[in-house]
Amino acid sequence: MLKMARHVHARTGEKNLCLAGGVALNCVGNGRLLREGPFEKIWVQPAAGDAGGAVGAALSAWHQYLDKPRDPDAQRGTQSDAMKGSYLGPAFASDDVAVELKAAGAVYRRLKRCCLLREVSQRLADGQVVGWFQGRMEFGPRALGNRSILGDPRSPRLQSIMNLKIKFRESFRPFAPSVLCERVGDYFDLDCESPYMLLVAPVREELRIPMSAEEERLFGIEKLNVPRSTIPAVTHVDYSARVQSVRRDDNPLYYDLIRTFEGLTGCPVLVNTSFNVRGEPIVCAPADAYRCFMRTGIDCLVLEDCLLDKREQPARPEDRSWEQEFQLD
């Protein structure tokens, strides 16, 4: 990747690089390309795999068949880019969600926006894992705050809990941090935005926890489970993280949730992983989210303005744990 980028730069002299294709989902490679490569800025299409061909088809029809002008700055405004967070999928009205929940026999409360943000932030600060379902679904393989499972990044146990009880995969797999856009530089060595979770960057030196001589002698999982920073749930073994920067213009509700959590804890970061289990796609409709919630260790589910507590839900025969279907890695 670095060799090709240097070659293109030498041939074109351009300052900016746009990437697509499946290889552009390699966020470690993208991070190195940004830090070590010759380009000042890089931009990666959020659905950079085969699904991104739909974007090319739409643009081809728009500009070539319909002869519309190509003006990349026309509709940008204050957005980080014209894709506006890549929230291009289906959305579901709050009233329709409530009807579905009632039909399923679910126990829920409908909360005003400010109350919802406060209660969810408090639950996160108390160590609960929250299923978060809002607005239009993300386009691409990354959950970006509308079909996400959220947690407190300060917890040294959360990574293992979310992997084993919710994602049903190896306990050491790291999760990504969602961080307020203006606070990215306070936590990561990254001087640009990363709205699509496609850049890996080092955690800032002052936030890292050096390993003791005794910890260095550990091996395997025991060594991997040693907290590496003050946000251990999102810090890789090499003190890096796969960063998602969140702008209020792109996702006001998710931004305000992180801001409310920061007001409670002083931490403008949340753990963000896709709302699914291993072997399943990201949830799309409310019924998908409720099913995943009932069959995993998620403590609390937010479906638009509806809040559900796992402890209040009636048991259903069809909601046997996913552990009975999937063998752990």
pLDDT by residue (tens digit) across 229-241? 999 999 988 899 9
Q: How far apart are CA 209 and CA 196, in angstroms?
A: 27
* Nearest Cα residue to 153 out of 178, 120, 121: 178
Please list the helix, strand and coil fractions of the chain in percent, rounded to the nearest 5, in that order.
Answer: 40, 15, 45
Residues 113, 305: contact at Cβ < 8 Å? yes
* Nearest Cα residue to 290 out of 144, 89, 107: 107
pLDDT by residue (tens digit) across 121-151? 999 999 999 999 999 999 999 999 999 999 9
**314: pLDDT strictly greater than 70:** yes
With cut-offs at 50, 70 and 90, classify the pLDDT of residue 32.
very high
- The domain limits of the chain are 2-65, 94-324
Residues 171, 221: contact at Cβ < 8 Å? yes
The more confident residue out of 291 and 226 is 291
Q: How far is CA 24 from CA 47, 140, 196, 230, in A?
A: 9, 12, 12, 29
**73: pLDDT strictly greater than 70:** no
Query: What mean pLDDT is predicted for residues 216-220?
Result: 81
Query: What mean pLDDT is predicted for residues 278-297?
Result: 93
Q: Which CATH number fits domain 94-324: 1.25.10.10, 3.30.950.10, 3.20.20.140, 3.90.870.20?
A: 3.90.870.20
Amino acid 166: pLDDT: 76
User: What is this structure's pTM?
Assistant: 0.91
